[in-house]
Every structure is written in structure tokens, then in C-alpha cells.
Structure 1
Amino acid sequence: MLGFYRQINLVTRSPKSLRGILRNFGFFTHAQPWGSNTKKFARELYINPSSSPISKKNQFSILFNNQRSNYCSMCRHIQSGTSSAAIVPTDREVLPTNVKPLHYDLTLEPFFDTFTFDGEETIEFQVNERTNYITLNIFEIKIHEVKIGNVKVDDITYDSKQQTVTFKFNDHLEQGATANLYIKFTGELNDKMAGFYRAAYEEDGKTKYLATTLLEPIDCRRVFPCYDEPAAKAKFTVALIADKDLVCLSNQPEKETTLVGSNKKKVSFTTTPLMSTYLLALIVGDLRYVENNDYRVPIKVYSIPGSEHLGVYSGNIAAKTLEFFDKKFDIPYPYDKLDLVSVPEFAVGAIESSACIIFRSVDLLLDEKNTNANTKQRVTEVVIHELAHQWFGDLVTMDFWDGLWLNEGFATWMSWYACDALYPDWKVWESYVSDSLQHALNLDALRSSHPIEVPVKRADEINQIFDAISYSKGSSLLKMISKWLGEDVFIKGVSNYLKKHKWGNTQTSDLWDSLSEASGKDVVKVMDIWTKNTGFPVVHVKELGNGEIEVTQNRFLATADVKEDENKVLYPVFLGLKTSEGVDESLILDTRSKTVKIPTSDDFFKVNADQTGIYRTAYEPSRWTKLGKAGVEGKLSVEDRVGLVADAGSLSSSGFIETSSLLDLVKSWSKETNYVVWGEILTRIGSIKAALMFEDEATKNALKVFTRDLIGEKLNEIGWKFTDNDSFADQQLKSSLYASAANADDPKAVDFAKEAFAKFVAGDKKAINPNLRPSIFNTVAKFGDEKTFDELYNIYINPQSIEEKIAALRAFGRFTKPEILDKVTGLLLKNDIIKPQDIYIPLQGMRAHKLGVEKLWSWLSENWDAIYKNFPPGLSMLGSIVTLSTSGFTKEDQKKKVEDFFANKDTKGYDQSVAQSLDIITTKIRWSDRDSKSIFKWLEVNGYTK
């Protein structure tokens, strides 16, 4: 079938000798000639469909470095340890390479009355081989006219399944020539937040629209026929036609504006550098901006009228960040301007479209005087993340989506790195352990996880890998590498990688090469195992006496049911042994077991110092007690303490240790002063509550008593009044402890929430500190009635800020009266009330309590057809809706309902979400069955059941 090309990656010591072998089987190279560089060990090759088919035997029996490769039977990638070739499925759905796009000349005109757009384009191609057809990606586009040169093309074939169109010509295009393909077309200015779409907002009581793009990963094909693959980089010359009073933006600076008739204009932009299609930006609307000129290129922050002043903070962040990255990468920011654009309806946080970055409003705009610390940090990190992409992702782009982590993992790590440099008082590396690392480990502990380099084959699989593996595990891996190599060496290697491959495409092996050259270490050998395998190890520590320990690694699964064939991978585990004499970073566990000498006599040690390794550590029961004491005595860093709590929580939920060990540990730290440690403690107690959600009320009430006792002393000491002198850490600690107290039904905290809310709705807008706003809204909803709902609804409809609106929306889900939750679920699919981009927010609130979980399932199962229609699997949000609506369950019969419901559904595009949700439910079922009685016993012995 046209568009299907099988591809594999081969490694050889002799490209020249391999070339002859490949010719016999009809292979041809995808890109440049082989050349003489034998160090280039990974080549992307295609089977020519016109050649005789290669036998299955030969497909699976090609030699690599004079060794026979072991292929995975599912995706035919090279198993770990045999090669560093990229994971490339042989049946990946990609476009043919008979031509290569060089330049797109594109003009679009959106119409807000009919919600359509007209377009025309001329694509200049390089002809790679003699051919009489060109195949492009296309979706929901109606073609009116096609010409190749000056010759009209009538032979047009569509393949809706593959989202392609093929134009066949009467005459052949000759190899080495260039060809111009002209296409005139019409598209839909849809309301799906994908492609070139309309974003609605209210102004003076009227609904208005702007047109914007969201193209990542594969929605450029919704805008114009194109080569919608990241490796098909080309230059773009864009023009937009719009009403003369509207603002038109794209990736490049404006070249000229000409009038079209009496009421319209045509804005032409300068030609872009080489760029992947998903990075194109097209925006038309009534926009205003604030400008920052602290950097050498102009920085403008755009928004709809009336909120432009809220862009000042992000403009300042951008100027500082660009200057920081210029120095760190040793490569100047590669574009001529920078626009940061706030869009009222956007399916993700932001998209890194080159030099014209588009954001969800809440992730770009803020009022510094009326915001909480979490929102400020979130906006800062999102802006920095997208700016990091301008180098890592835009300037240098992954070859295909299986390398997504190269973009997202690095941008995530770089946002932490830059935040630490620009805002040292935030101490973000402490938060990293509870944030990025735990997100990675929690998802990767599921059997339904995937490798960092995931073998993507079909379009419907791509959206599903924008998850904690690509982002958080990717960034955690880079954190581990930077620790191993040293940050300066790591940054030097990254800089060399960017310089070597700028304006090009890469695979993971290219990054490893640059880091190896900079460090002199065999990065490939160590890191391939981490990127090409699903999961991570648990390291068991057995104390042998005589100052020795035995460390053993095995695959970790949250469901604690590892099968023999799942436990074969041996990871290079950086042990980072911390003792009173310091940290030994040289110890690496790369076998099943190893005996290690403890170089100290005071019986203090901890494995995984500062929690930079990607694994869990399981100690003997007595060691957990000793480590708890070491934390009180100040022997453990914040990262160590957070890591211990996280490990204890995860290990207890999966049955590797008793839950009592976790409870003993956190109880001993009631005097803890760091907000990050407290956050992890409260998160892990919350996990116990979630697992026991459908158990008896006595245990749940005792957990509330325990929580109030645990935080009581520290909360009484610091209170929840905020002053201008509060540091970032002070604000975080006060808000975290107050939220936990209110959630545990502390009478003082609950009364305060009710009193502050009453004053707030009466007109005193300063009665609620922004740091406490979410907790107070949640608390009054939890104990509220119809009147409370109406008050929160009014805040949601008429908010003072975006933060306030979101806090009210999330609180909708916290009501515990069935009739109110029915009202909430009745609003979920009303797009004029709850924007589709925000549907997950009230779902999060409902997921926090038993009745909410039950109502969520009823809503999902009863409204599935409408949900599926509103959030088709080709977009990214359906998977999140499925997970939020199902993973709150904790019982076997509830799990069976979920399994039965999806058994006969076509789950393409969200199958991973279903599988992951079932894994999460299974984990909670087993935890509850195994430990619910012992948890109650611990609570009883410690006096919390009275």
C-alpha cells in the first residue's frame, strides 16, 4: 500500500560491504549516501516495494558488529545490549521517500462566519528517484485544484485510514530534478483544538473568536497537504489574509502588508529556516501585546484585549532565560524575534512553535500580586521549558516520534536547570525528587508503561507517548547522566550535539555520541539499557554484618507480580552510597547482586544519595527506623528524605515492605521543616487513603486523626497567615499544611475556610489569600449545599483571575451531595460552560472521594458516545478522561466493570490509558487486601482509632 514502508536500523563495521548485501534485497538509503564514515553506525533503510520481498529469515538474521542480533518479535527492534541502533518498527506507517519537500509557499485565509479557511500552497520538491506520483498527508481538507508545474493533475487518490492523498502524473519526474506542486484547498476552522482551529472567548457579553494552530504531533495535515513527519524539514514562506483590524502572527517577522479590497489585508512573513511541520504557527485574531526589550531580539507577549498586562512577568522570564541559554548552549538564540501568545482555548500547556510559542492562558499570564506560589512556579517552568525547545527540538529535532523524549525529556530537565540558576531561593532540585522523578517512577512501575524510546508505528500511537515517560523519566535519565558525567561536561556535550546537528534531525545515539566524546566515557553502553527497556529496578539491601551489605536488583512492578521473562534486564545502577565519610559515586551495580563494604563505623548509610538514581531501594525493617532517626539528626539531605518517603510509600503499596514501616517513618518526622518533604509525606498518606477509599469508615477516620496529629505541631507553629516577608518556601509550607489539615477535617481549618469564603462572596476579595484559595474552595464544597454551589458557580462565571476560575471549577467535584454532583456531571459536556480543554479539572475534584469516583464512572459509561465524539481518540484528551474516570476504583468487581465496558470498544488511541488504569486499580486492590487490617492495627496501637 502507498505510504507503507518497512524500515530497520542496521549496524556494521563496514558500510561498504553491507551496501552490496542490501542491494540484493532491494534496500535503498533514506537520506545521504553511505560515504566513508565507518563511525556512523546507525543508518535508516527502507525496503523498496517494487523489489522482490525480503524473506522473514533474512529480516531476522542480519549481522551486527559480527554478532547475530536478537529481534523483538513485536516490533523487531534490537534487544538491549546488542546494539545502540534506534528502535524502529519494520511496519511503521510513513510516507514514501521518492521526493523530499524543500519549501512550502503557503497562503491561508480564515472565515469566522463559516468556520472554514481557504488555502493555496506551492511545494517545491527534490526528486530522489524517478517517479510519477507524490503522496502527502491530509486530513479533513477538501482539494479543489492541483498542478504539477503548469500541468493539471486529475488522478487523485485518498486513503482515509492512512490520512494520505496521492497525486499521480502522466509524465515521470526525473531523479535529481526539482518539481513544484500547486494545491488549492479548503479546510475546517474546527472547534477541536487541533490543526488550524477557532478558539472562543467572551468580550462584552459577546462570543468572539481567534484562529490559531496546534499541530504537534500530526495535525499539520489538517491545515494543508504536507509531509507531516519531523524528519521532513523544509522552509516555509507564509502569508495570512484577514480583516484589516486583526493581528496576524507566524514564526517569522512580518515582511510586508498589503490591502486586499477595502476591509482585508494580506500579511506576508519572511521565509523560515529549516523547520518540521509540527512547529509551524499561524494566528489571526484581535490581540494586544506587551513588549520586553531586555534581550537582543524583541519579545512580545500577546493576549486577547484586557489581559495583555498579565504578560509582563512571562516577558521578563523569557528575556532572562534566552540570555541564560545563549551562554549555556554557546549558540545564540536562532531566530529573529520571539512571540509568546496566550490562547483562550488550548488542549495542552504550550507548544514550542519556533519563535512564536503558543500557550494556554493560565500557563502564560499572571498577576504577580494576586497569585499563589505554585502558579508562579508553574508559569516560570512552562515558559523556560518552551524556550529550551527553541534549541532542543526546533533547532535540532528528533528523527521520528520514537525519539520524542529527546525533545521533551531535555526541555523538562533544562527547565529545572535554568530555574535553579535563575531562582536559587526556590531550590527546585529538592522539588525534582517529589515531582519529575516520582511521576516517572509511578508510571514506569506499571506493566503497561513503555520504553523511553518507544517503537511508534501508527499515527494513533503518537499522542499516547506524551506522558511521564517521555517527559519525566527522560528528564530523570538526563539528571542521572549529568550527575555521572558532571554538569559542566554534560552541558559541553549537549552544546557540541546542538552545533553538530543544527537545523537537522537526530536519533538518541547522536546525543550519546556527543556526550561520550565530551566525557571520554562509554555513554552508549550505559544509557541504551535505560532508554530501550520498560521499567526500572528495585534494589534490595541485605545487611551481612562485619560492615558489609549485599545489594540485589530485580524488576519493580507496582502490582508485585513480576514474571520470570520480565526480570532479565540488568541495569547499570548508580548506587551513590552515602555514609558519614561522604558519598561514593563510583559504585555501580551492573550484575544481579554485589557485596559492598560500608566505609564507616557509626552504622549510618543510605543507598542512592540525593536520589539521583532511577530505582527504588528496599531496606530491612530495622534500617528504615535508623534512617528515620538519621533524618531527624540532620544526616540526610532534603532529596534523601523525600526519596526515602517516596520509596517507602511505593514499596509498601506494592508489598515489598510493610505499610507500618512507611507510617513509622513519617510519624518520626513530625518536626520536619521542609515543604517538599512534607508534600511527599502527605502525598503518601493520601495514597493510603485512596487505596482504602471503599473500605470501612473507621480506618479512614483514623487516618484523618493521624494526619491532624502528624501536622499539628508544625501547623500551630507556622499558622496560615501570610505576610509580605514570607519566603517562597514559607508560602509553600503554610499552604501545604493548611490544605492537609482542612482535608483531614481539622475543625479550626474548616471553620476558617467557611468564614473566609463567606467574607469573600460578601465582597471582601482579600479575605482569601491566593495560596489558600484552592484549599478553601475545596473545603467549602466538601461541606457545602446548593447555595455553596451557586456561589462557586458565580465565581467560576465571573472570576477575578484565571486561577480563581480554575480553583472554583476544580471545587465543583468536591461536593459530597449526590444531587449536586449530578448537576456537575450535567455540565461536563456543555462546551459553552466548561471548555473542552478544562474538562479534566472537575474530574480531578470528583476523583478525590468515594461518591465522586462512583459518579464519574456513571457519567463515563452513560455518556460514552458523546464523550467519544467530543474527544476523538486522534486527539490527546480522551485518554486522560478515561484514566481519571476509572482509576479511582479499588475493588475487584469495579475493575471487572471497567474491563467489560472496554472489552468490545475500539480502544485505538487510548488503549494505553485503559491498560494503565487497570494496573492502578489492581495495585490498590492488592494493597487494600494485603494491608488494610495491619494499617488499622497500627492506627489502633498508636491511639488514632479512639
Structure 2
Amino acid sequence: MFRTALNRSFVHYYKKSAVTVRLVLNLFTMIEKKPFERLPKDVTPVNYKLRLKPDLLAFTFDGHEIVSLKVNKPTNKIVLNSIDISIKKATLTVGEKTEDAVVSYCMEDETATLGFAESVAAGDAKLCIDFEGELNDKMKGFYHSKYFTPDGEERYGAVTQFESTDARRAFPCWDEPALKATFDVTLVVPEDRVALSNMPVQVEKVLGDGCKEVHYLTTPIMSTYLLAFVVGEYDYVEGRSSDGVLIRVYTPVGKKEQGQFALEVAVKTLPFYKDYFGIGFPLPKSDLIAIADFAAGAMENWGLVTYRETALLIDQKNSSSATKQWVALVVGHELAHQWFGNLVTMEWWTHLWLNEGFASWIEYLCVDYCHPEFDIWTQFVSSDYMRALELDALHNSHPIEVPVGHPDEVDEIFDTISYSKGASVIRMLHEFLGDEFFKKGLNIYLNRFKYSNAFTEDLWAALEESSGQPVGRMMTTWTKQMGFPVVQVSQRQEGSKRIIMLKQEKFNADGSVDETDSSWYVPVSLCTASSPSTPVKKVLLLPEVKSVEVILDNVSAGEWVKVNPGTYGVYRTQYSADMLDTLLPAIKDKTLPPRDRLGLQNDVFALARAGKISSVEFLNVVKSFEQEDNYTVWNDLANNLDQLGKLLQYTDIDDAFRSFVCKLYQPIGEKMGWDPKENESHLDSLLRSLVVQCLAKSGDSKTITEAKKRFHSHCDGSCCLGADIRSPVYHTVLRDADEEVFDRVLKLHKEADLQEEKVRILRSLGSVKHDKLIQRCLQFAMSDEVRSQDTVFVIISATCSKLGRQMAWEFIKENWSELANRYSGGFLLSRLIMSTTYHFASNDMAKEVEGFFVDHPAPAAQRTIQQSCENIRLNATWRQRDESAIREWLAKNST
């Protein structure tokens, strides 16, 4: 299947670039390597008795395990996963007989094979292994994490991150999600350190050598990637949910009050999920812990969820409203996994989206319950739904369900498709079925497969059983093929009836007509001016019927009709010109609800970028938002204007465009002002931050002057910047910074005690314009003053300008060996590649990026490289097609 798609890509790009040909041939070479095979099932684990002793000075660990096995058929060898582990001795006991194993390794497959002189009979057996390993600095497996005591002393802890395939770096194991077992964990650690694992402590005893031995209760049957241990120094706050589960939030020493907000969210969340799923939380305790060095945002280890500090800790004075909202979402996401992913686990990584797509949907449901003032579902449309459509329109996208083999392939699908598109199709299905049937189906699914594994089809079957709808047939069109449709809409009036014509075809980011027969079951709703919030008609477009007519009764001539109210359906909508014109007044007077205003402009922007309409039509729609006052609508519009602005940096109309954008933002800027108003909403706080950022970036002199004034008052201690405006102020002053200002910002970073503040500054550094300061920013990113987890985002911050983008790319090429070594096999490398190259806008740059990665292969980021190069070519075509029309439009609309 993949090989066929590759052949199509080869033909498509053959004439464009000899470098691309080399890239594709390189891919074929990669594919021809030894086929990946999953572990044999002739021997499977039942229970691991695991004892680990980490050395926090030498960064090594000693381990011993006794694995209770089920020998399913006679064999003379045992194959299990192991990498970066030295097995000192391995013995197998069957009955009264014990035999030493001969150990061999396969680095490519990340396995160890234990060979025996005689065949082992089917039945029960015990495998004993003594081993040692390294507490690495890669933020995966069993690794060390640096932190500082309240007195500033440097210390190290030991932390795990096993998803997806890194438990094998901590102990030899059957490291596949379907090969579940129970675990009895014992940790030997310094006496003065906190030691945590998935379960509560059963026995703790002092050993007399400055160490203690901590033994934990047996876990439920679970996958290896969910096992966890943390050793370090922590404070905590605790509470109990209404159903009696003990919840603790662990924080750095002296900062336990920063865990209070996350604790409040968790205490509400566990009972919410218990009610929604119809199953209580399966463990006796739930720990949430902030880790100093952590590659991902968080990890759902069963009963011991690990987080970046910025995803868990809230300082009431210094944390922004955006961070508070982020913490609520991440807590909701990870606790959802305790059922959906941990209790019931995907059978193999192909079904990863069952974990991540579902959790990415229900986190919003949970936060909407805990904090309805966030209007979080409108934000979902901008932050997840639209991001998914943008990526999935590429020819180099992938289906939600993508075949996965070798571990190198797993990390690459932890992406927007698995998370955000997965969440979007779940949201669409939930709306289609209704909450009652959806909840009932989830309860069937979770009870049927609890403590075991499931396939995507198992979820569809349960939802089909609860609802009576053809869920499997419908949803297969969304999960097994990539992409989505554009629904083309036109109309005619017949008396008091409005006849709406609907036609679906695959939407491609380059505007091409798809040669395949891609089509979907598309649930389409329609609303009218007289019923703007409630659909007046619902239809299901069928794959085999590409176009239909829908009759709406009692719709007068001139009354607007809107498709996809609430923006639930995962598709673009392209209206006929007359239909779009009737909708613009509803944007201006805001009779069209926020999600529909947002969805309408985003569809028009995507159609313009694809060349289906002119970018001038998008700019005409933008003018309808002059009186907009909704944060999320502004945020999405600002993202699209910023993307167009980055394209126009490569033209001579950059200044004219920024002037237009500046005038657009000025009315809302005057309304919001700089300082919070009494009893203002959470969304107003977010909107103020956004508008200050946008006005300053577009060159508004008043905003820039005020930002500099407030920055200097903040630095001299006379007036502290509010948390919500710190980020836009830092960006603004850095944009015009000289060496002195840059040094003052670095001083703020050095003095900051809150990780959120450090990250806020780091992500602003690249706003500088001068080449010397850009180079300082990039060099600082690789210094010891920046945690490895944050380096990527400092480099990315430089890409906001044309010069910075080019310098960041040159910096990546010069430092590729170190960057690839740091982030090999992880999503951070893919993020770095995409974010630093996405906004280039010439075919020559596409060839250069391709050529570099032909000579410097990055297998785990291969799809990302293809997506990035496709984006660069799209930008080049977009600029060439629309530059003159935009220039003419700006000349007419500059006053």
C-alpha cells in the first residue's frame, strides 16, 4: 500500500527535481531493508518482579527481574526487546530445572535472544535476568533529569518515559502493547529521595547504606509502555475525589502551591470520567508529577502521570490565562487515558489514534464541564479541527490508521492527524449519534475489552450496537483513507423553497482534482438566518452519490443559508459567490455564531491558498471582521493573516499588507486596552494578549511605545508586567532590540524561578531582527542555559522573519549532527524540521531542503520532510499566482 503511494509521488515530482528523485530512491532503499517482525508469541509474560537501583551520580542503574512466563509451545529460544541494556546473566527455570541462557543481540530489531541447549516444554516457567543500563540524557527510557534545590544546588533525579517503545531501555521485556502483564516494582534509592511508581507503596525499609528499598503493590495487567518510576525531591498537595480516590500533585520542593490548580481540575475530572464511562477509576491512587526534563507535554502512565512543569504548575501571580487553560486541557487529556488507553489499550500502534484522538476530544468535554467560561469548544475548532484540515490536505498526509512496523515508524504518527484529526472525527461522530448513544457505546466498549486490547473496529461495533447506525461503514471512510472532502454548495429559489445543491470531492491543498475515487459518508447540517444556531435540515452524503439536492421550506429570497453549523463536519465548504455574499453581513453583525464565523473565514482562506478562489476574496471576507470581539475568532483569523504575511515577506508589498492588518486590529485594540477591567472574562484576557501581539507585530507605533515603556518599568521593578501581556511585550521589545535590551531579556530568563516564565522568554528571543542578535539567539538555544526540551522552540522562534528563517535553517544544517543525536527518533526533531522550513516560498528552497535530507537521512522524520517540501512548493505557487492581485487590492484598500 505504501509502496504504491510512493510510486505515485515519484511520477508526480519526477519533472520537478532531480534531488527529489534521489530522495525517493533513498526511500525505496530504506523500504527494502529487512522486514520488521513483531515478537514471537511462543513465550509470553504473565508477571514481572522488577528491582532497579539507579545511581544518580554515575548515571547508571543495576537491575534484576524475575519474569513469570507462559510457554505456549516448545522452543529453544526466547526473543524479547532490549536496547542499551547489558544482560549480565539470564537463567530459565522450569520445574526443578534451571538452565543458563546464551545471549545475543539484534540492534536493528532492538531485541535480545536467549538461547537454550534444550527445547523448553509448553507450560509455566520463570526467567531471571541480571542486567545494567545507562540513565541516559535522551529523555526516553530510564533517564536522568537535572533540577535545582531551593538553595540553587544542582541535583539529578531518575525518570521514565516509555511510550512508545522505550521500556526496553530500562529492562528486557516484551515491549508491545498487546503483551500485557502485571508488575511488582522495587526501587532502591537514596534515603532522602521521593520514589514513586504506578501503585502505592506496600513496604519501605532502610538498608543502612544511605539507601532505602521501596516495594510497591502489584499493578493491574497492563502494557509495558505504561509502567513508570520517578526518583527525586518533591513536595505535593493532595485531595480526594468525590468517590474516594487519593490524588496528589507533586511539584519541585518549595512550590507545592503551584500544584493546587491542577489538583482542583483532577479532583473534578476523575468523577466526571467515572460518570461518563460508567466505570470507576481502576487504581487506588492517582499521582500527577512535574518533571524538569521532559520531551512531551505529558505521559499517561497508569496512576503516575508525568508532565512538563509548564503543563502542570500554575503560579497565581505569574501564570497566564493561556497556561491555566493549557494545564486544564492536559490534565483532562492524560486522565482520560486512564480508561481509554490504559484500561483498554490499542492492539498495536496502527491504532494509536484510539488513544490519542479520543483523549484529544474528551479533554475538551471535560474542561467544558470544569470551566464553562473558557468556551473551549469554540477554541477546539481553531486549535485542533483547523490544524488537522491544513495538514490532511497535503498529498503527503496519511490516514488516521496507518500501518506501523519498526519502532522508527511509531514516533512519526504522534502527529496532528492522530491527535487532532482523530479528535475531530470523534467529535463529528458524537454529534451525529447524540450523547446518549455515544456514552452507551463507550460503556459497552470499555467493559468488553477492559484489561485487554482492542482494534478500531471494536469501538465502531460497540457504537453501532448502542445506536443502530452504520458506524463501521461510515467511519472507515474517515480512518482508513487520508484526506477529507470539500462540499461545494450552490442554490436556487423556487417560491418559498430554497433548493440547496451539495457535491463532495476530495480537497487538496494544491487545488488539484483528485484522480482517485476518494469519497466519504459526510454528515451535512444546514441552518438559516431565522435559525442560526439550530440545524433546520440534516443529510448524510454517501460515497457512491457525489451530489444531492436538499429542499428547505419557508426560506425567503435573500435569507442566508449556512452549511455545517457549529463546524462539526470534517470538511471544507465552498459556497457559490451569491451564497457567500449573503453571509458577509451576518459576520459583520455577528448574527452568525462564533464557530461559524471562524469556520467560514478559515474555509475561504484554505480555498484561496489552494487556488480554488483568489486571495482577494479572502481579504474581502476579512474586512467583514472589523467589529469582531470574540477571542477565538480573532485568534484563528490572526493565524491566517500571519501565514499570508509570512508569504508576502518575500515580496515588495510586505509593508502595505502590515499596514492593512494594523488598521484591522486597531478598533479591538482600543476596546481592550492594556489593563484588565473589573470582572472581565477569561477570554478577554486571552484577547488582550493576542491583540497587543498583533498590533505590535504589524507596526502600530502606539503599541510599540507602550510595550517598551512597560518593559522598562518591569525590569527596574517599578511596575510588574501582568502575566497575560508578558509574552507580547517580550516579543515587541525584542523586535527592535539592540545588544543592551537583548542582554536585559537574558537576565530576566536567568533570574526567573518559574519554568513558564523561562519558556515565555525563550520563545520570544528569536523575534530580534539584526543578524548578530539572531545568531546569538541560535547559539544560546544550544547552550547549557537552555534545557534540551526547549532548544527546539528557541530555534523555531527565529523563523518569524525572512532573515531569521534563513539563518535558522543554516544553523540547523551546521549543527545537524548534534541535533539529530539529541532528538533521534522523537517528535521534537520532526517539529524542528517542519517549523523552520514551512514558510519558505521558492522551489529552489524545496530542492535545497530535500537535498540536505538525502545526504543526512532522518528516517523517523521522513514524512515530515516530505510534508514540509510540499508546503514550500505550495507557498511558491501561491505567491506567484496571487501576488499581483493582492498588490492591486492593497492599493485600493489602503485608506
Higher mean C-alpha deviation, range 720-729 or range 245-254:
720-729
Alpha-carbon shift at residue 202 of structure 1 (Å): 2.6
Partner of 1:819 in structure 2? 772
1:768-822 Cα distance to aligned partner (Å, 9 max, x none)? 1111111000000000110111111111111142222111111111111101111
Higher mean C-alpha deviation, range 629-638 or range 449-458:
629-638
Q: 1:266 aligns with which of 207, 213, 219?
A: 213
Query: Equivalent residue of 1:861, what SS?
Result: helix
1:194-236 Cα distance to aligned partner (Å, 9 max, x none)? 0010001233343211101001000000000101000011000
Alpha-carbon shift at residue 415 of structure 1 (Å): 0.6
Distance 2:648 2:124 in 1: 66
Distance 1:294 1:635 in 2: 41
Matches within 5 A, 1:782-931: 782-830=735-783, 832-872=784-824, 874-931=825-882
Distance 2:712 2:589 in 1: 44
Distance 1:480 1:292 in 2: 35
Matches within 5 A, 1:228-239: 228-239=175-186
TM-score between the two structures when normalised by the length of structure 1: 0.88
1:754 aligns with 2:708: yes
1:621-655 Cα distance to aligned partner (Å, 9 max, x none)? 33322211122344421111110011111111111
Distance 1:419 1:646 in 2: 25
Q: 2:518 aligns with which of 553, 563, 569?
A: 569
Alpha-carbon shift at residue 755 of structure 1 (Å): 0.3
Partner of 2:23 in structure 1? none
1:461 aligns with 2:409: yes
Distance 2:153 2:683 in 1: 42
Residues 561, 579 of structure 2: 8 Å contact kept: no
Instruction: Give the letter aligned to residue 136 of structure 2.
Output: N
Distance 2:593 2:152 in 1: 54
Alpha-carbon shift at residue 75 of structure 1 (Å): 9.9
Distance 1:772 1:829, change over 3 A: same
1:122 aligns with 2:66: yes
Instruction: Give the letter aligned to residue 695 of structure 2.
Output: A
Q: 1:186 aligns with which of 126, 132, 138?
A: 132
1:388-440 Cα distance to aligned partner (Å, 9 max, x none)? 00000101100001111100111111110011112112111111111110111
Distance 1:633 1:833 in 2: 50
Q: 1:601 aligns with which of 523, 546, 556?
A: 556
Partner of 1:550 in structure 2? 501
Higher mean C-alpha deviation, range 644-653 or range 841-850:
841-850
Partner of 1:17 in structure 2? none
Partner of 1:84 in structure 2? none
Alpha-carbon shift at residue 381 of structure 1 (Å): 0.4
Query: Equivalent residue of 2:860, what SS?
Result: coil
Alpha-carbon shift at residue 545 of structure 1 (Å): 5.0
Query: Equivalent residue of 1:583, what SS?
Result: coil
Higher mean C-alpha deviation, range 711-720 or range 643-652:
711-720
Alpha-carbon shift at residue 682 of structure 1 (Å): 1.3
Distance 1:823 1:75 in 2: 43
1:626 aligns with 2:582: yes
Distance 1:477 1:942 in 2: 39
Residues 116, 188 of structure 1: 8 Å contact kept: yes
Q: 1:277 aligns with which of 202, 224, 236?
A: 224
Query: Equivalent residue of 1:369, what SS?
Result: coil
Alpha-carbon shift at residue 585 of structure 1 (Å): 4.8
Instruction: Give the letter aligned to residue 648 of structure 2.
Output: L
Q: 1:774 aligns with which of 707, 717, 727?
A: 727
Distance 1:250 1:800 in 2: 28
* Number of residue equivalences: 854
Distance 2:808 2:889 in 1: 32
Distance 1:576 1:275 in 2: 42
Partner of 1:9 in structure 2? none
Residues 240, 267 of structure 1: 8 Å contact kept: yes
Partner of 1:725 in structure 2? 679
Instruction: Give the letter aligned to residue 420 of structure 2.
Output: S
Distance 1:498 1:549, change over 3 A: same
5+ residue gaps, structure 1, are 1-70, 77-89
Partner of 1:225 in structure 2? 172
Matches within 5 A, 1:454-533: 454-533=402-481
1:93 aligns with 2:37: yes
Instruction: Give the letter aligned to residue 268 of structure 1.
Output: H
Partner of 1:82 in structure 2? none
Distance 1:251 1:75, change over 3 A: farther
Distance 1:284 1:767 in 2: 36
Alpha-carbon shift at residue 714 of structure 1 (Å): 2.2
Distance 1:910 1:304 in 2: 34
Kindly indicate which of the two structures has a greater share of residues assigned to helix: 2
Query: Equivalent residue of 2:625, what SS?
Result: coil
Distance 2:792 2:184 in 1: 37
Alpha-carbon shift at residue 494 of structure 1 (Å): 0.8
Instruction: Give the letter aligned to residue 621 of structure 1.
Output: A
5+ residue gaps, structure 2, are 7-33
Distance 1:617 1:273 in 2: 47
Distance 1:575 1:223, change over 3 A: same
Partner of 1:678 in structure 2? 634
Distance 2:537 2:291 in 1: 46
Distance 1:537 1:571 in 2: 7
Query: Equivalent residue of 1:673, what SS?
Result: coil
1:815-840 Cα distance to aligned partner (Å, 9 max, x none)? 1110111111112222x211110012
| Percent of aligned positions that are identical | 36
Instruction: Give the letter aligned to residue 755 of structure 2.
Output: I
Alpha-carbon shift at residue 564 of structure 1 (Å): 1.2
Kindly report the root-mean-square deviation, in angstroms, between the aligned alpha carbons of the 2 structures. 1.7
Query: Equivalent residue of 1:303, what SS?
Result: strand
Matches within 5 A, 1:28-43: none
Residues 436, 472 of structure 1: 8 Å contact kept: yes
Distance 1:201 1:73 in 2: 46
1:661 aligns with 2:614: no
1:48-106 Cα distance to aligned partner (Å, 9 max, x none)? xxxxxxxxxxxxxxxxxxxxxxx776599xxxxxxxxxxxxx95531011111110000
Query: Equivalent residue of 1:310, what SS?
Result: helix
1:299-347 Cα distance to aligned partner (Å, 9 max, x none)? 1111221222211111111001011111111111110101111110000
Matches within 5 A, 1:378-393: 378-393=326-341
1:329-377 Cα distance to aligned partner (Å, 9 max, x none)? 1111110101111110000000000000011011001112332111110
Higher mean C-alpha deviation, range 841-850 or range 517-526:
841-850
Alpha-carbon shift at residue 502 of structure 1 (Å): 0.8
Distance 1:703 1:782 in 2: 18
Distance 2:816 2:35 in 1: 32
Q: 1:739 aligns with which of 693, 697, 703?
A: 693
Distance 2:622 2:839 in 1: 24
